[in-house]
Structures are given as structure tokens and as C-alpha cells.
Structure 1
């Protein structure tokens, strides 16, 4: 067993200045190059073409009361792609899609692919500086934006102001900013052909260095995923799939391309739908549901999980965070005719790489700490367990996975340090997740081996928030922990040292550089941080304190004076 692989020698500080094309060539050299009976050789545009050939008049996408057929979506993408190509003087290296739950978001992804470009989904609600940093890192040279995205991109003093912006909606204007409009005369006859081994899209995850990490995923990675999962779930043109994830969340690619590759329909599921999900499922005829497990509790609180309240579902899939036995049982009761599965997989392994099928009679006894097993590794992938001593472990350890769904490495190779394992003459991705072999159930998820927090499907590095708190708020010390509330939800708590601050001041300050989901809604000032026996910050004690304070004050940020549990010299919270 060799030590975990470090970043490529010599790349460290200078690679971030290389062109995106140079980095993409570097990543291609590290990507999985094998194929099996043509698997790994198809692009996402070719997968859409498979659904298109099943019928141009079939509904591909619904957003609210509007819908688009496969033919209409294909024509939009060809027109927008042609406009991008003409404006860029050839296929752009990377296209940013600055939109959310609009036709510009979904057709924009397809148009960027048709243009032969790398898709870089961007969220209009994120702080502009953060969005600009991600666009720069990914080499974005042109944007597709909806009305909200234009507001971000068209800011004359903003960091995205220099990029051309394609705005398909003629009603959207930007004062003093020329916008690029789709030109039917520039429409492509066919999508631009690309190398299946090339990067299809880039997403960003929270980074321990205080900045987001770029995760490039290749067409071949997605091809292997789609091939296996189409066989597993047997999606047909008669299926209607939920679309619950924002486009900056990797699982949106399941929502879209599992539907589009089969000629099925993808239905945008807005947050308002959860208020009465059974009606939404019935009105749209949903047959496949896919979301993070925390959505189960949301629907439960809205009274939507009564017996057989969603009879049309035949598959109910969950991924992104631990699924509890209670949530699985509650959902199964409401969708008695569906098969409930728990999927697992980080963005770096392309959406999911394990799956476990829930059985109402047998599964509860197989759960560990009330968490549903994550099941077995896909037969196209391989997994090993790495013990704390750096050697392979038989029964419990960090899950390391390799195979054709594994991404080629981060945009900045410096981020690769410590994230890969060299074993058996192959490169394995270290997930950072501690698992245990659980017999016929496959693998049981035990938690993180590091400080990373999983919340509503997002992977959050506390150190990134802590760095923002020190930088934006001027605090002398900051520690962020995740804790579980009485309702079973995961929340973030910020403990800080320094002068007391109002809750609004803290939230507004952090929102300057962090997306909303990373801003802790609970904040407490301490005189000092509790320390463990090694004189390091005792995060476990802070988790316990956060749980106690949140229980005492369920609707407000903490205040008052409290002892930290089990500390000889307790710090004080104010």
C-alpha cells in the first residue's frame, strides 16, 4: 500500500494560471480511457439524440404550465449553440449557464453541449465575487442567462461585466449593456462533435482552503453512469421524472439525462410543490421521484405522507445525505407501489456509485445508527476500505473507489493532494466517508472521517465558512459545526471569539462571499473555545452545545450564558 498521492509535481502554485485548454488536456491524460462494448464513447448530446429519435413531439421538459417537446428543445439548443459559436469565433472552451429553474437553465445546458463547450452551471443567487471566481477557474468565456442571471452579469462594475451574455428572453433588457440574442440564421445543423473523453461539465464543491474546488466530469464518466442506471431502472418514454435539484447540484444531471436519454419527461419541481406534493405528483403523473432525504421530512411536516398518497410512483430514489430508516418507511408508506432506493456518491464519482434497495420487513434491522445502508458498489466500479493506519481494512474504513465514473482530478491539481490513493497500480478516489461492511446490505455509512458536513445534499467544508467569518466579520476566531435538530434536520452553527455582533450583521457579512446554504443561521459568541486533551478545539463539545442551545431557543439565535457540557473549565456562550 502506497501513501495517498499528492498533487502533480511542479503544478502547485502555477497551474491556476494555465489556460483552461491546457488544464483540460492535463485532466484527459489522467482520465479513465477504457471502454466496454462502446460504453464510455457516447457524449451527452448523443444521449439526448437517443431520446429525440424516440419522437420529436414527445414532451421533454415541463416548467409550471409550460412545456417543450424534444423537437422544440433540440431546435432551441441548435439555435443558441450556433449563436454562441459565431460570437466566439468557434466552439467556446466553456459556457457559463447563469440561470435557475427556467428554460434558459435547462436548454442552456443542452445548448452549451451542442456548441462543443464545457458546461459550467452558475447560480444567480450566489455572491457575484464567488460566481466570478468559479467562472474564471473554469475558463468561462461566454454566458447564457435568464432574467435573474442578467442582473448579476450586467452589473457594470461587477466581475462578470466583461463577458458576452446570451439572453434568449426578449423581454429581458439591461441598461447600458448590449445583450446577445439568439439568431435563427446562425443555428447549427447538428451538434458540434466532441471527444467523449473530454470534460462535459464542471461543478464546484466547498473547499477546505477557503475557496470552492472545481470538479470536472467527462462525457465518458456520464456515459458509464447512464448506461448502468438505464439498465437498472428501465426508464421508458412513458415515465415522468421529478427535477428537484438546482443546476449547480450534480444530481440535476440525473434528473435531466436519465429522462432525456430515454425519451421521458422531466418536470421542474419547485420548492412550492412540497407544500402539497401528492397533488403535484398526481397532476404531473410522476413515476420517478429523486431528491435529497431531507425532502422527506419537509413533505411529512406538510402532511403529504399519508398511506398511498402517491400511487403513481414506481421508483423513489434518494441521495446526497444520510437516509434514516424512519424517513424511508414513511416515504414507502406514501408510495406503496414504488421501489425505494438509497443512492450514494460524491460529485467526483459522477452522481452515484452505490445503491441499496429498501425492504420494509428486513431493512430496519440492517440500519446502523438508524441510517439506511448505502448498499453495494456498482459492478462497473470497485471499492476498497482504507484503515486509519494507511493499510487496507477488511471490515471498516474510509471508502476509496475507482473505475470509469471517477473524475480525472480537480481543476487545480493542488486540490488533488490527499484525495487519491495509489493501490494495485491504479488511482482511487478517497471519499472521506467512513463505512462498514454490513453483509448482504453491502456498506453501512458511519459518517465523515474529516470535518466536512453534509447538509441537504451539499458537502460543506467548515473551514471555508470559518475563513469567511474571520475575513468578513473581523472575528479573532471562528469554528463552524453541523448539528442535528430535534426534527432531524442538520443545521450549521457558528461559534466566534471577539466583540458581540447582531445576528443580522453576521448573516449579511457572510452573505457577501458565501452562498445562502453555507451561512449559519445559529451564531454564538464565546470567551474561549473548549479544548480537548490534545489542546485542539473540541468540536464534539461544540456540537453538543449547539444542540442544547437550539433546543432551548428553537426559533432564534442563541443568547444568554451557558456552560459547555463536560468541560473542566467551561467557556461561556453569550
Structure 2
């Protein structure tokens, strides 16, 4: 056994709490495979020991490059037990993007399943791989960490054509999950879905809310989406998390009928604007469930506001039919910069402007300090994160989301910088310039439409070339060749006009 110091205030302590509550009950289920809290704890200690045996001074960062598998879930916990920074990555992303993220995060070891091994090989990086067969002396206990240590790094879309790494500390997570423990009555009898991608910050909500209360998390298999109400009934699912687009999909599959999801106690939506009509339909389908609309950029640790849906009051507070995002979490301050605040020096508005937040959930800064420019604000002796989101403060203190100040959008819950899509398109053979806009998607949410100049290129060829460099949500659904872009009065590309044309033109 490798002797280690007593565990400190780390994110992994939430699993230890669950272990004390439910040692012999399931911690995670993937299809028919289940691990109890004790089994998962023992596996994580052994794999953490193997990690430290390979890096005696402690691994700096450990990537988990795997599908939703036992390898992935145990790997996340093992990396935390080893005192490492976890870097969850999607093995289905293009090889170039994965290579950039592995390099930017300074990954020393990769935990991978077979799909992840193939993805790593495609990057041509020579990194050691720890899989389910890895052996090593088990740790006696998780490695102690400091509050300021980085628990995990997640990547968001960047306007420079490369993803931006966002480090989140153990202290930020401690504050966040302490607030959630006070707000929600989760317990060992709950059954949590694990629905979102592990590289999406909302997965941390799903995993560590469940594990902190001794409850199981069930990975949602793709086939279950054909009939989610039946899956919920079979598993006794009580806690659901998805983007609002998930509501439209369930409706499309015929599952959003009154009373169809009676086991749900809590339903959470984040990543996109939640419409009042969708919330009302979900409430009818899950009559025993409380519904919350959550909001928060990755830089502020998963979510920073929350609004509890009420059929009586929420529609009255809504703007453009969008459910309010709620109040900023306790322990944080926020301000609204008015139109003059493009450089951060504008006046503060009491009612409407760009939402800026300061407090313990804020990232210490991007992995690449150059990415900090324009995203953080020094004001009144404090550092604030500029969300780029325009909000309105209602009389009761609730915030309502009005839209993006820049060209960042949410596609299937995935943050997309339109400038990044443009940048990658310009690298395609024959393309001179590009302008990407959004339009409503048939099933709800948004989809991307690309306008480009240069040679006329078959849509299939463009889609194929872009798919080698961009994740699927960032690949446009429609392609429009134009001889030149329309310009507005300021002689800039008139994206608003392109967006209107994208809606009017068939895909």
C-alpha cells in the first residue's frame, strides 16, 4: 500500500460521503454493469496507485478519454484520488482538436477505453495510457489536495480557432456543491441520470450531486432516448438533467404526454434558453417534479444562477417567452454593465446590461493567459468575469436572459464561438471568407448556417472537411455560397441580414 496523507477539501470527498452513506449500494450503472460505492472506491484507489507509480511526484493532469463507460467514471474518481487535475475529453472529437487539448492541458497520462485508445492514436501523441487492466499498489486513502488546486479542466470554444482551457479549483467546487446541498433534498433513494457528455460541465452536477448523497448515477444509453418515459419507469429515475432541446426531442418521440414521467422528483435544464411553453409541457409530463432553469458559463463552475419554475409566476416574469435564469448564488456579487461597457469602463446599470460576476466559483483564469483579455474585468478593487450575456434585473432580483453580446451561441448545449467556425471554414480549400449565423432548428434550439465566398464547393465536400476539425455541433447544417457578403451601415458584414435570409431559405 502507498501511504498518503489524509484527504483534504477535495471534490473527491463528495464520493467519500456517499461511500459512508451507501457502501453496498450502486454508485454507477452503465447498461447492465453496476459498481457499488465500495467496489468503485477500491478500484479508484488501485488505479490512483497505478497513476502515482507512473508519476512518483504526482501526475500534473490526467485526461479521461472515454465514452460513458465504467472506465470513464472510475477514471475520473481515480485521477481525483491521485491528486491530479482531471481533463475529461470526448473520444469522438476530431483528432486535431483532441491533440490541441491534450497539449494545452499538459496531460501526463491518459485513462482510456478502446474508443479512447483509438482516438489517442489518431492524435499521434506519445502519451502513456492507463486502462482497466492497469496494475499498481493501491492507495491507503486519497491524496490530500489544497483548496486552490485545480480539480478539473474543461475546454470551451475559442474565437482564435482553438479551444480555451478553463481550470476549476477544488474550492470553487466546494462552494458550489455546498450551495446545492442546501437547495436540494437529494438522498440515497434518488436515481440520477448521467445524460450529458463527460466533457460538458453539467456532468459534474450529475455525478457529484449523486455521489455526495449516496445515490446512483445511470448512464443514459442512446437507445433509451427513443422512449425515455419507459426507461425512467424501468430504472425508477428521479433526477433528470438536459439542455432544453431535450424537451423538443422527447416531444418528437411522443414521450411528452401528461403524466408520462411520474417518477421524476427534480428536472434541471441548462445550456440554452428554456421556453415557458416547454417548461409547462414538461411539468405536465412529470407532475411530481420540481423544475429548475439553471444558468452559468463554465468559467463560473457549472451554474451560477437558478430559477424554480412556477406556472403561476414564471410566465409573467418571462421575456420573449424565455424562463428567467434566477438569482446569482449566495457568496457572489454581480453587476450589469451598460452599452458603454465594451472595454469594461462603462457605467453600471441597475436594470439591464452585460452580466459580470465575482466570487468563489470563478476560474482563476484560462490555461493560456492570452485568452484572459476581454473576459475579466478589474473594477472596484475586485476581479469580475464578463459573461458576454445581456440580462435584465427584475424588481424582485430575478435575472432574465436577453441574449449574447457577442457571437457565442449554444448548439445542443455546446458553447460555440461563431468566429471559431468561421476561422476553420476559411482554411478549407477554395474558401475565401466565411460568416456563420444561426437559425431555429426544426426540433428546437438552434442550428448553424454557413455563408461563404470564393469557389462554389459541394456541401458534402465542405461538411466532410469541416468534420475533420470540428465537433458535430459546430458543423453547419446548411451551406450558402455568395459572391460577396452584404454590408451594414458601418461597412461590416451584415450578419443580421444573413440570419434573416437563413430562416427564409430552405436548407
* Bucket of the pairwise TM-score, normalised by the shorter protein: over 0.9
**Residue in structure 2 matched with residue 47 of structure 1 by the alignment:** 14
**Residue in structure 2 matched with residue 275 of structure 1 by the alignment:** 226
Q: Structure 1, residues 426-465: CA drift from partner, whole Å, max 9, x if none?
A: 1110000000112237011000011111122111111111
CA contact (8 A) 1:290 1:316 kept: yes
Q: Matched residues in 2 for 1:376 and 1:44: separation?
A: 25
**Residue in structure 2 matched with residue 17 of structure 1 by the alignment:** none
User: Are 1:97 and 2:61 an aligned pair?
Assistant: no
* Alignment match of 2:124 (pick from 159, 164, 172): 159
**The residue matched to 1:186 in structure 2 has which SS?**
coil
* Alignment match of 1:338 (pick from 277, 289, 293): 289
Q: Matched residues in 2 for 1:122 and 1:548: separation?
A: 37
**The residue matched to 1:405 in structure 2 has which SS?**
coil
Q: Matched residues in 1 for 2:182 and 2:161: separation?
A: 40
CA contact (8 A) 1:373 1:441 kept: no
**The residue matched to 2:427 in structure 1 has which SS?**
helix
**Residue in structure 1 matched with residue 180 of structure 2 by the alignment:** 229
* Alignment match of 1:497 (pick from 453, 477, 500): 453
Q: Matched residues in 2 for 1:103 and 1:145: separation?
A: 11
User: How big is the shift at 1:191?
Assistant: 1.1
CA contact (8 A) 1:95 1:120 kept: yes
**The residue matched to 1:476 in structure 2 has which SS?**
strand
User: How big is the shift at 1:58?
Assistant: 1.1
Q: Matched residues in 1 for 2:489 and 2:221: separation?
A: 48
After TM superposition, the structure 1 stretch with the greater mean CA deviation from structure 2, 525-534 or 512-521, is: 512-521
* Alignment match of 1:191 (pick from 142, 149, 162): 142
CA contact (8 A) 1:453 1:460 kept: yes
TM-score by length of 2: 0.96
Q: Matched residues in 2 for 1:510 and 1:373: separation?
A: 35
**Residue in structure 1 matched with residue 486 of structure 2 by the alignment:** 530
After superposition, where does 1:65-464 map in structure 2 within 5 Å?
A: 65-155=32-122, 158-160=123-125, 162-168=126-132, 181-183=133-135, 185-389=136-340, 390-440=346-396, 442-464=398-420
**Residue in structure 2 matched with residue 28 of structure 1 by the alignment:** none
Q: Matched residues in 1 for 2:402 and 2:295: separation?
A: 13
Q: Matched residues in 2 for 1:237 and 1:304: separation?
A: 27
Q: Matched residues in 2 for 1:386 and 1:159: separation?
A: 45
Q: Matched residues in 2 for 1:291 and 1:358: separation?
A: 15
**Residue in structure 2 matched with residue 173 of structure 1 by the alignment:** none
CA 474–468 in structure 1, closer or farther in 2 if over 3 Å, else same: farther
User: How big is the shift at 1:270?
Assistant: 2.6
Q: Matched residues in 2 for 1:376 and 1:471: separation?
A: 42
CA contact (8 A) 1:56 1:69 kept: yes
User: Are 1:467 and 2:423 an aligned pair?
Assistant: yes
**Residue in structure 1 matched with residue 477 of structure 2 by the alignment:** 521
**Residue in structure 2 matched with residue 19 of structure 1 by the alignment:** none
Q: Structure 1, residues 165-188: CA drift from partner, whole Å, max 9, x if none?
A: 1121xxxxxxxxxxxx421x5211
**Residue in structure 1 matched with residue 439 of structure 2 by the alignment:** 483
CA 132–503 in structure 1, closer or farther in 2 if over 3 Å, else same: same
**The residue matched to 2:431 in structure 1 has which SS?**
coil
User: How big is the shift at 1:487?
Assistant: 4.4
Q: Matched residues in 1 for 2:68 and 2:46: separation?
A: 20
**The residue matched to 1:53 in structure 2 has which SS?**
helix
CA 134–402 in structure 1, closer or farther in 2 if over 3 Å, else same: same
CA contact (8 A) 1:129 1:159 kept: no
CA contact (8 A) 2:9 2:145 kept: no
Runs (5+) with no aligned partner, structure 2:
1-7, 341-345
Q: Matched residues in 2 for 1:478 and 1:248: separation?
A: 28
Q: Matched residues in 2 for 1:322 and 1:394: separation?
A: 23
